[in-house]
Amino acid sequence: MKNLIKNLLDERIKSTIRSSEVYQGLYNKMHSSKLAVAGKKLDICANEIAIYLLQADKEKYVLRDKICLEIGSGWLLTHSLVFYLLGAKKVYATDLDPLLQPENIFKAVSQSVSWSILDSLSTFEDREIVRFRLNKLLSLKKFSVEVLKDLGIEYIAPIDLSQKMPTEEKIDFIFSKSVLEHVPVEDVVRLLENLVNSLSEDGFMFHLIHLVDHRDSNEKPFDFFIYQQEAYSKELQSRWGNRIRRSQWQQIFLTSRIWTLNFYLSGHAMTENYQKKSTHLFNIQMKKI
């Protein structure tokens, strides 16, 4: 009990520090710079999207002239840039907090391997069109919210999609990665209802969800279960994960008028019981009933 109280007190102190503008500014710049040469490089994100589209048996031109929405677009918007490369007419890149660091976007683009992007995406769009759009990104050198808007990517943050959507027009494709687990439990159903209601007739969604405690996912993946429900606040749910299990997600989607196309784990097989070195990530591909 003493350790539990101490951990909560420590987290309140950390939360106060993290909420300061100075801390947020420094962290966002440093973190985005690291991501730009690692997991959020444009070629890595292009490979990811291509794999998800292949797994869902999507055909060529699946995003051409479509309206897309990314939930939790983060610091660099590289998944949204992939949708642009695939011919999207409009991309709404949204986030609960304004995290965007446009000065590091070019690094994420220029540090990527161009042929890898072309090979990944040419299954779903003409190679020369992808090449033309990629060359345009490489020619920009300096990105800004205005430059992104000229590309058809509208950055909207802060916005809470459980309260309102960024547009009244129907959306053809909705994407999130490692986002839904940060939505407080009491907001999840309302968020999904808004997403379902916004989908076009043939619209579809991909959501990748991490199931583990985000403080130390490798060594202590389920530590957040030591807290009683009343002590596990919305703030902690947003930071560490909302603790919704795979079977619970399944039930939530089934009751939200969503037909699940695929519901599987990415990487190593995993059950409700944690297996060390498994990815703790599952990918949901779905459309409206």
pLDDT digit string (tens) for 242-283? 788 888 888 888 777 666 656 554 433 333 333 333 345 567
Distance from C-alpha of 194 to C-alpha of 129, rounded to nearest angstrom: 33
> Contact, 280 vs 272, CB < 8 A?
no
Global pTM reads 0.86
Domain with residue 151: its CATH number is: 3.40.50.150
What mean pLDDT is predicted for residues 90-114?
97
CA distance 110 to 36: 9
- The burial class, CB within 10 Å (0-12 / 13-18 / 19+), for 107 is buried
User: Hunting for tokens 């490692």 — which residue is that?
Assistant: 178
Task: For residue 109, give both structure tokens.
Answer: 């683009």
Average pLDDT value over all residues in the chain: 86
> Long-range pairs for 148-153 at CB < 8 Å and ≥24 separation?
148/77, 148/93, 148/102, 151/84, 152/84, 152/88, 152/89, 152/90, 152/91, 153/77, 153/80, 153/81, 153/84, 153/91, 153/93
Task: Output the CA–CA distances (angstroms, integers) from residue 275 to 192, 211, 247, in the order listed.
Answer: 29, 12, 17
Domain span at residue 32 reads 2-288
Q: Phi first, then psi: give them for residue 100, nearest 5 degrees.
A: -50, 130
- Per the structure, the count of domains in the chain is 1
Express each pLDDT in 4-60 by its tens digit: 554 555 666 766 666 677 788 899 999 999 999 999 999 999 999 999 999 888 999
Q: Which helix (H) or strand (E) holds 200?
A: strand 199-210
